[in-house]
Amino acid sequence: MNRFTIFILALSLISAISCSNTNEGDTRKNAARIDFEKTNHDFGQLDFGSDGVCEFVFSNSGSSPLVIANVKSSCGCTIPEWTKEPIKAGEKGSIRVSYDTYRIGSFTKSITVYSNAQNSPIRIFIKGRVKSKEDSST
């Protein structure tokens, strides 16, 4: 190859790399962003068989619609339900978490939220203690 051809190839390669980096930065800047009002919930003492449900509210502080792809709990005793529709920029959604209060004792569980947000994945947490059936009020 002659020097002119090598120069053109090198220039093309540099242009391609610089354009791809610029586009990548723009994509992050314009991406969705998930921000939770709180990331921890402490149930405290729960009666055996009581309602072990809490809600985590989040907002999309990005500029693109936020889509929650999946929400996984660290254990089968914790069941998450979440907003399935895309959340527009500036709007809110929620994740409702149910804990099985037929399991006696202390617990700490994590829930991982996967989305198209630039700060995904995010982990949220629940904790508490389920009293024995005998110690629970009727």
* Same-domain pairing of 74 and 122: yes
* Same-domain pairing of 111 and 48: yes
Please tell me the total count of domains within the chain. 2
Fill in the DSSP letter of residue 19: H
Phi, psi of 13 (to 5 degrees): -65, -45
* Same-domain pairing of 18 and 81: no
* Same-domain pairing of 23 and 58: no
- With cut-offs at 50, 70 and 90, classify the pLDDT of residue 9: low
**Residue 137 covered by a domain:** no
Please state the pTM of the whole predicted model.
0.76
Q: For residue 112, what is the domain's CATH number?
A: 2.60.40.10
Indicate the residue type of 51. D
Length of the chain (residues): 138
Q: What is the pLDDT of residues 110-131, one digit of tens each?
A: 999 999 999 999 999 999 999 9
Q: What range does the domain containing 15 cover?
A: 1-30
Query: Residue 110: what pLDDT?
Result: 97
**Residue 107 covered by a domain:** yes
Q: What is the pLDDT of residues 26-81, one digit of tens each?
A: 355 678 999 999 999 999 999 999 999 999 999 999 999 999 999 999 989 999 99
Q: How many CB atoms lie within 10 A of CB 128?
A: 19
Rg (CA), the chain: 23
* Same-domain pairing of 58 and 2: no
Q: Which residues contact 103 (CB under 8 A, 6 or more apart)?
A: 77, 130
Q: Looking at 3-100, list the stretches that DSSP marks H as alpha helix, in order from N- to C-terminal side.
A: 3-29
Phi-psi region of 118 (alpha: psi -120 to 50; beta: other; left: phi over 0): alpha
* Same-domain pairing of 63 and 118: yes
Nearest-5° Cα angle at 118, 15 to 94: 155
Fill in the DSSP letter of residue 52: -
Query: Which has the minimum average pLDDT: 24-33, 97-106, 127-136?
Result: 24-33
Query: Residue 29: what pLDDT?
Result: 64
